[in-house]
Structure 1
Amino acid sequence: MTLWLDVGTAADLAALAAELGLHPLAVTAAFGEDHQRPKLVRYDRHSFLTAATARVTGDVLTASEVDAFVTDRVLLTVHRDDTTGLDALTARWDSTPELAKSGAAFLLHGLLDHLVDGHLDAAQALDEQVEVLEDLVFADHVDHTGLQRRALRLRRSLARLRHLAVPMREIVGALMRRDDTLLPYFQDVHDHVLRVTEWTESLREEIATIRETQLSIQGNRLNTIMKKVTSWAAIIAVPTAITGFYGQNIPYPGFGQASGVWVSTAAILVISATLYALFKRRDWL
């Protein structure tokens, strides 16, 4: 008979530890340090698995640790939060009853398959957020500070997902060498793990590219602004130079006559208009 047990408190685990012969180090680790690295440790009478679920809300990834003790006929799962999706897990086991003859390895496969599929869903959700970020980079009015913060949150979420997914390759790889009956099924889980790790690496590179593109766009816009400011400064310098020159206390052509005012005014308008047309044609304004 194959048995699955699920506990959520240290007291429940302690009550079963002696009966199942669980190693004290594994029992301590199950309710010890948070956010342990996913791993599979073999003891004399059982194996101890540490993994995590992943869920994305907006652009933030949250993880919940799930531990499991595996004997020949018993799978004992330990979770600290009610996020393991027990209904989906039991439905997964019920969909492949022909594998039940493999004992607890069958239950372990279903658990790993459930967790890795959750990682795939998280990668898909983060991919959609990256696409939204790409569209925001080329928007007409961009909140660059908000964009940078969002990119940083996505990068942290991707790094967290990668830390959850990469060790799963070692875990599933070890199980593939251990169980020949379920080898094709563990191979399928292993393929999904590779897809998650490659996907997260690709998305991290896209985030870096988005950041570089944003800096490039900001630089180009700054250059455009500088050209416009310089062009307007050149236009304003013309009347400043003419009026400043004729402001000297010496006679000049048209001094004391109305014609002098009109000539200087005409010079200001003609030269300024010429500079404006020249800068506009060069797209400096």
Structure 2
Amino acid sequence: MECVIYREQTGEGEHIDCRQADGGCEVTLDRLGMLKPDEFAWIRLSEPAQEELQRLGEYLKLHPLAIEDAVHAHQRPKQERYGDVLAVAVKTLWFIEQSADVETGEVMIFLGPSFALTVRHGAMDPIAEAAQRLDRQPDMARLGPVSVLHAVTDVITDAYTQAAAQVRTDLTDLERCVFSPAREDRTEQIYSLKREVVEFRDAVQPLVPVLQPFTAARDDWPHQVVPYFRDVADHLTRTDTEVRALDDLLSSVLDAHLAKVGTWQNDDMRRISAWAAIFAIPTMIAGIYGMNFDHMPELDWRYGYPCALAAMALGAGLLYRAFRRNGWL
């Protein structure tokens, strides 16, 4: 657990020692009970145990459903109001370039009158970057706990933008491979990337309506924070549009690749059919003269055998030339 006490008058932050005492963070809880009217605390938890969060939630008067959501971390992006506490769930997302995988985590943000609580799940840590930004912008910290919500969502939205750019690069490379002359089956690779984009879309798309209410003036928030949330919402909307375009483009690339695979199969069938027709003529002639009849023309003719071979070669050659001119071979 980390805890920082911010003073709204100066925007400065004081880090509080979180020594464990009797299985809980007694020092932090005692300090939270002595906050001044112009101070608020930012408490940061990373994949906490249920007992730890339960104890802290009871002290901060968090709703049991909110605590359950923060512990299990399987929520769609959403916002909920529990009395005077606002709970916002946001998906974190990062792109693994080596495997072209999109990994997701989750951050739960609780805003109370004098505190902000963030609970992180997953390998990506937007909280550290958000804390650094807030330390560099004391004017934002003066706006109270809502500044934490802005800082965290701003970092996560920037990560969305970077991940979308990396997915776009992979998709461009995949398009070049699909439309290259090489005959390589890319169906599994395209489908795998499309599955990652769907996971990307599931993180970004539901967050757009969640942040939209924050772009309007609210009675319980300083009006100075509204332009900052509008900037975050604008970046998120652009990323959402980009992800939708990537999803549609991947569907088109998959359709084009499947059509190309079908063309390869048609070419193969034409070649097989052409060679079967070519070999049909020698087979037919050999079959006719291989029948066991006593009275057949040319059986006793001296030049019958070479003429039969010549007819086979001529018929096969004419068919081969015709198929070559028509592009079948």
- TM-score where L is the length of structure 2: 0.79
Which residue does 2:136 correspond to in 1? 95
SS of match in other structure, 2:205: helix
For the pair 1:38 / 2:74, whether they are aligned, the reply is: no
| Alignment partners' CA distance in 2, 1:225 and 1:198 | 41
Which residue does 1:28 correspond to in 2? 68
For the pair 1:214 / 2:265, whether they are aligned, the reply is: no
State how 1:21-100 maps to structure 2 within 5 Å: 21-32=61-72, 34-57=73-96, 58-81=99-122, 83-100=124-141
Q: Report how far residue 282 of structure 1 moved.
A: 0.7
Which residue does 1:252 correspond to in 2? 297
Which residue does 1:111 correspond to in 2? 152
| Alignment partners' CA distance in 2, 1:13 and 1:232 | 74
SS of match in other structure, 1:2: strand
Which residue does 2:27 correspond to in 1? none
What is the percent sequence identity of the aligned residues? 28
SS of match in other structure, 1:232: helix
State how 1:194-273 maps to structure 2 within 5 Å: 194-248=237-291, 249=293, 250-253=295-298, 255-273=299-317
For the pair 1:2 / 2:60, whether they are aligned, the reply is: no
Cα RMSD after superposing both structures: 2.0
AA partner of residue 284 (structure 1): W
Q: Report how far residue 190 of structure 1 moved.
A: 0.6
Which residue does 1:16 correspond to in 2? 56
Q: Report how far residue 76 of structure 1 moved.
A: 0.9
Q: Report how far residue 82 of structure 1 moved.
A: 5.0
For the pair 1:284 / 2:322, whether they are aligned, the reply is: no
Q: Extract unaligned runs of 5+ from structure 2.
A: 1-38
| Alignment partners' CA distance in 2, 1:17 and 1:219 | 59
More displaced 10-residue stretch of structure 1: 124-133 or 47-56: 124-133
AA partner of residue 129 (structure 2): A
Deviations 1:186-244 (A, max 9, x none): 11111111122211111111121122112211111111111111111111111112222
Deviations 1:54-82 (A, max 9, x none): 11222322211111111234211112345
SS of match in other structure, 1:89: helix
Which among 170, 180, 204 is matched to residue 129 of structure 1?
Answer: 170
| Alignment partners' CA distance in 2, 1:238 and 1:35 | 69
Return closer, same or farther for 1:229/1:148 CA change in 2, 3 Å cut-off: same
- Equivalent pairs counted in the alignment come to 280
AA partner of residue 44 (structure 2): D
Of Structure 1 and Structure 2, the greater helix share is in: 1
| Alignment partners' CA distance in 1, 2:270 and 2:123 | 59
Deviations 1:149-183 (A, max 9, x none): 33232222222221211221122111122353122
The higher-RCO structure (CA 8 Å, 6+ apart) is 1
Which residue does 1:165 correspond to in 2? 204
Please say if residues 21 and 45 of structure 1, whose CA atoms lie closer than 8 Å, have aligned partners that are also in contact.
no
AA partner of residue 313 (structure 2): L
| Alignment partners' CA distance in 1, 2:128 and 2:312 | 81
For the pair 1:192 / 2:235, whether they are aligned, the reply is: yes
Q: Extract unaligned runs of 5+ from structure 1.
A: none
| Alignment partners' CA distance in 2, 1:119 and 1:155 | 16
AA partner of residue 132 (structure 2): A
Which residue does 2:3 correspond to in 1? none
AA partner of residue 14 (structure 1): Q
Q: Report how far residue 85 of structure 1 moved.
A: 3.5
- TM-score where L is the length of structure 1: 0.90
